[in-house]
């Protein structure tokens, strides 16, 4: 029997439908759906079916010192018992197994995990590997006609990441949590990639807090010819208020054109999508990083787009691009395809990185809008339009810079109008608007119909949005194309950040500031990037998994040496930050701090620090992580609250006092109706 193993159930079903001469038979084995015909069986896993962990004797956080985890044995335990049972049963009956999991480091490890389970029950079984980037009939048939060997080095690199992340995450999380006295579901999470990523957000927040606004003035004149348009004083920002007022008071009612500079600007088409650029583009149209990847994964498994986890920004020569473009020429895309195919040559743009594992994220086949959910269609359309844009000609703009004399003060205005849409016709997202100036001539006199003296302040640097943060993580070597969006999701779920752009909580600030002071290594990207390079050497066969894991253990021991010298100061720093994160406002009765507290029975409430002299309190929801935002209720001067429950959207609770009064009113209204 020939056993084919895919990464997920949906992939197994689709591949079986492609390979089988007629509709395959669905058969449940040990509670798992498989697809069978003749002597072939296809079954899907559920991602990783085993996990790495410490032996049970290390589980007690208060009895086992966190440092002991650095040297502890690592065991592998099944997490998907039904799938493991099905693998064992089918493995005994098979003489050959084909690993058809996703073609990357993680997919190779998932495949090897399944292969090892099969080999334990059938030592004589043979195996091979298939590589594909799209789940289309053409590519799947080609992949099974050109099988490869299983890459155990690549899988070992993936395994080393799991082991290193477990050791670093568990040891540091346990140390920081026990030191801060924050145990149970509210433990303080620390991780090899997570923590330096959080440090980027904290660094930016500190820049914002340290920003001292500086006042400046701008002078804007509204001029009129055939149309009205604005011109700004050539100085731009004027830092002296007296000087700004002097200039403003001298301005007359006419403006003379003293210089005109016309030009054409070429707006080059974008590069193909790799994972990072895809997430950034999806983020710009309203998708979170994790949502964009989840939808892309669904589209990939259904054969509509290529594998969405890729670093490649260069289309491989093996793909017939004209044929692929032609296959998309239906429905709303028909006019775009017709236009592209009229070009004598289809020469795409190229990014800086070229790899051989997967192409950039591209459409794999046409699908009608009615067959997809709204969010799925938006992501699919984004991918298709980006693909088209990479083959399109540049856009061209006509630009005009005009200089005016108003009472011997120079003002300037810029105009731009699109001459040729080029690639922007195919990819219309965030297209700049025309800035129209009238036809002007040097020496022409225009009317000044309005003048404004605007007083402004410099603004702090902006927080990072998800797309921008993922690009920064890529540039610094933090995480991989497969894990960066998961790291950001983890920061949200741990209540370290809220909002988008991402804003760190006071607890996050305290964790990073403490680690930067006493164990700086864990907060810097260099350590993580070094380990990523070491893992690449495993996949190349230059280093072994054991060597790299042992090196990481030595690095972690050095971190603990620094931590253990300063445990009392670390406790003080963390607890101060966590206390600040619980303050939500000022008590209207006694002006003491209102703070999030726990009752003796474990419930949560907002209480006054003036207790027992002041008994003011407000109720809170029983479950979920509480995040205190910087948005204030104008009526009660209390910070708004968010509640984060794992796997659910954050609940914007708002002002606790307003909620309490509304609840009281609803109870009273209900009682009044009963009377």
Residue 448 domain-assigned (yes or no): yes
Mean per-residue pLDDT, 154-160: 94
Residue 65 domain-assigned (yes or no): no
- The answer on 595 and 503 residing in a single domain is no
Q: Please give the Cα distance from 168 to 162 (Å, whole number).
A: 10
Q: What is the CA radius of gyration of the chain?
A: 31
Is 307 among the residues known to form the active site?
Answer: yes
Q: Please give the Cα distance from 664 to 658 (Å, whole number).
A: 10
Residue 57 domain-assigned (yes or no): no
- The answer on 483 and 514 residing in a single domain is yes
Residue 97 domain-assigned (yes or no): yes
In the block, tokens 């943060």 appear at 469
Which pLDDT score is estimated for 42?
Answer: 97
Percent of the chain with pLDDT over 70: 99
Which pLDDT score is estimated for 577?
Answer: 76
- The CATH number linked to 195 is 1.10.460.10
- The answer on 141 and 6 residing in a single domain is yes
Quick: pLDDT tens for 77-129.
Answer: 999 999 999 999 999 999 999 999 999 889 999 999 999 999 999 999 999 99
Question: Under the phi-then-psi rule, with left for phi > 0, alpha for psi from -120 to 50, and beta for the rest, what region is 13?
Answer: alpha
- The answer on 145 and 25 residing in a single domain is yes
Peptide bond between residue 565 and the one before it cis (omega within 30 degrees of 0):
no
Which pLDDT score is estimated for 186?
Answer: 66
Quick: pLDDT tens for 71-85.
Answer: 999 999 999 999 999
- The answer on 340 and 354 residing in a single domain is yes
- The answer on 544 and 474 residing in a single domain is yes
Order the strands of the 604-608 sheet from edge to edge. 583-586, 593-598, 604-608, 617-619
Domain that holds residue 249: 215-260+395-420+432-457
Q: Please give the Cα distance from 21 to 24 (Å, whole number).
A: 8
Residue-averaged pLDDT of the chain: 92
Pairing of strands 625-632, 617-619: unpaired
Give the total number of structural domains in the chain.
Answer: 5
Order the strands of the 96-100 sheet from edge to edge. 25-29, 32-37, 40-44, 2-6, 96-100, 126-129
- The CATH number linked to 293 is 1.10.290.10
- The answer on 113 and 87 residing in a single domain is yes
DSSP H helices, 494-615, are 506-518, 525-539, 545-564, 567-580
- The answer on 355 and 407 residing in a single domain is no
Quick: pLDDT tens for 207-263.
Answer: 999 999 999 999 999 999 889 999 999 999 999 999 999 999 999 999 999 999 999
With vertex at residue 495, the alpha carbon angle to CA 489 and CA 500, rounded to the nearest 5 degrees, is: 60
Judged by average pLDDT, the poorest of 52-66, 76-90, 176-190, 380-394 is 176-190
Q: In the structure encoding, which two tokens stand for residue 166, read together?
A: 């477990």
Q: Please give the Cα distance from 611 to 616 (Å, whole number).
A: 8
Residue 129 domain-assigned (yes or no): yes
Q: Please give the Cα distance from 41 to 25 (Å, whole number).
A: 9
- The CATH number linked to 235 is 2.70.20.10
Residue 134 domain-assigned (yes or no): yes
- The answer on 615 and 535 residing in a single domain is no
- What are the Cα distances from residue 583, in Å, to 130, 578, 587, 653? 56, 9, 11, 16
- The CATH number linked to 133 is 3.40.50.140
- The answer on 12 and 119 residing in a single domain is yes
Residue ending a domain, choose from 575, 592, 612? 575
Residue 70 domain-assigned (yes or no): no
Write down the pTM of the prediction. 0.88
Mean per-residue pLDDT, 294-302: 95
Residue 75 domain-assigned (yes or no): no
- The answer on 234 and 314 residing in a single domain is no
Give φ, ψ of 337 to 5 degrees: -65, -45
Choosing from 58, 300, 307, 380, the catalytic residue is: 307
Which pLDDT score is estimated for 275?
Answer: 95
In the block, tokens 């016709």 appear at 425
Which pLDDT score is estimated for 185?
Answer: 62
Residue ending a domain, choose from 575, 591, 614? 575
What is residue 465's DSSP assignment? Answer: P
User: Is the pLDDT assigned to residue 660 strictly greater than 90?
Assistant: no
Distance of CA 349 to the CA centre of its chain: 25
Q: How many CA atoms lie within 13 A of 123 on its CB side?
A: 0
Residue ending a domain, choose from 389, 412, 447? 389
Which pLDDT score is estimated for 488?
Answer: 94
Mean per-residue pLDDT, 193-208: 95
- The answer on 146 and 25 residing in a single domain is yes
Which pLDDT score is estimated for 663?
Answer: 84
User: Is the pLDDT assigned to residue 361 strictly greater than 80?
Assistant: yes
Q: Please give the Cα distance from 366 to 53 (Å, whole number).
A: 43
Pairing of strands 2-6, 40-44: parallel
Strands (E) located in 253-363: 254-267
């Amino acid at each position: 029997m020939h056993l084919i193993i895919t990464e997920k159930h949906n992939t197994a079903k689709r591949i079986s439908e492609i390979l089988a001469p007629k509709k395959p038979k669905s058969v449940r084995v040990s509670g798992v759906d498989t697809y069978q015909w003749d002597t072939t069986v296809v079954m899907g896993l559920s991602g990783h079916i085993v996990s790495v962990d410490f032996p049970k004797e290390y589980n007690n956080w208060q009895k086992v010192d966190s440092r002991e985890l650095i040297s502890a044995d690592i065991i592998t335990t099944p997490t998907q018992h039904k799938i493991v049972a099905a693998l064992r049963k089918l493995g005994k009956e098979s003489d050959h197994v084909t690993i058809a999991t996703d073609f990357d480091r993680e997919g190779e490890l998932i495949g090897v995990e399944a292969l090892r389970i099969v080999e334990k029950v059938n030592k004589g079984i043979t195996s091979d590997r298939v590589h594909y980037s799209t789940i289309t009939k053409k590519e799947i048939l080609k992949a099974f006609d050109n099988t490869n060997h299983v890459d155990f080095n690549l899988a070992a690199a993936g395994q080393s990441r799991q082991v290193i992340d477990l050791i670093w995450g568990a040891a540091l999380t346990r140390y920081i949590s026990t030191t801060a006295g924050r145990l149970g579901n509210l433990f303080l999470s620390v991780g090899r990639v997570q923590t330096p990523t959080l440090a980027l957000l904290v660094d930016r927040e500190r820049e914002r807090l340290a920003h001292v606004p500086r006042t400046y003035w701008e002078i804007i004149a509204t001029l009129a010819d055939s149309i009205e348009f604005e011109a700004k004083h050539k100085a731009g920002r004027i830092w002296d208020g007296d000087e700004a007022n002097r200039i403003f008071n001298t301005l007359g009612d006419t403006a003379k054109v003293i210089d005109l500079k016309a030009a054409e600007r070429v707006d080059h088409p974008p590069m193909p999508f790799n994972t990072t650029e895809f997430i950034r583009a999806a983020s710009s149209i309203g998708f979170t990083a994790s949502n964009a990847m989840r939808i892309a994964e669904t589209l990939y498994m259904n054969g509509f787009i290529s594998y969405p986890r890729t670093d490649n920004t260069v289309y491989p020569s093996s793909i017939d691009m004209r044929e692929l473009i032609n296959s998309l020429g239906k429905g709303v895309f028909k006019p775009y395809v017709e236009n592209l195919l009229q070009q004598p040559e289809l020469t795409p743009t190229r990014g800086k990185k070229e790899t051989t594992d997967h192409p950039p994220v591209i459409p794999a086949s046409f699908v009608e809008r009615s067959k997809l959910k709204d969010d799925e269609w938006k992501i699919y359309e984004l991918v298709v339009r980006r693909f088209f844009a990479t083959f399109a000609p540049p856009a061209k703009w006509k630009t005009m810079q005009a200089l005016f004399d108003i009472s011997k003060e120079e003002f300037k205005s810029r105009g731009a109008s699109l001459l040729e849409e080029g690639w922007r016709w195919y990819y219309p997202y965030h297209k700049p608007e025309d800035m129209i100036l009238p036809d002007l001539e040097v020496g022409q006199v225009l009317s000044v119909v309005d003048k404004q003296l605007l007083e402004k302040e410099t603004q702090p640097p902006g927080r990072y949005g998800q797309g921008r943060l993922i690009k920064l993580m890529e540039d610094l070597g933090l995480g991989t194309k497969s894990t960066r969006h998961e790291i950001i999701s983890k920061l949200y779920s741990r209540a370290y950040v809220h909002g988008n752009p991402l804003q760190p909580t006071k607890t996050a600030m305290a964790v990073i500031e403490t680690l930067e002071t006493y164990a700086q290594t864990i907060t810097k990207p260099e350590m993580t990037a070094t380990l990523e390079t070491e893992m690449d050497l495993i996949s190349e066969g230059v280093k072994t998994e054991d060597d790299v894991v042992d090196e990481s253990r030595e690095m972690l021991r050095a971190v603990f040496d620094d931590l253990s010298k300063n445990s009392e100061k670390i406790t003080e720093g963390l607890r101060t930050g966590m206390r600040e994160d619980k303050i939500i406002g000022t008590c209207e009765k006694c002006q003491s701090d209102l703070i999030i507290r726990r009752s003796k029975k474990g419930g949560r409430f907002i209480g006054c620090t003036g207790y027992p002299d002041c008994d003011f309190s407000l109720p809170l929801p029983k479950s979920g992580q509480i995040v205190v935002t910087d948005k204030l209720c104008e009526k009660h001067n209390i910070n708004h609250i968010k509640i984060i429950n794992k796997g659910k959207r954050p609940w914007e609770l708002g002002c606790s006092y307003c909620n309490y009064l509304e609840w009281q009113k609803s109870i009273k209204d209900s009682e009044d109706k009963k009377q």
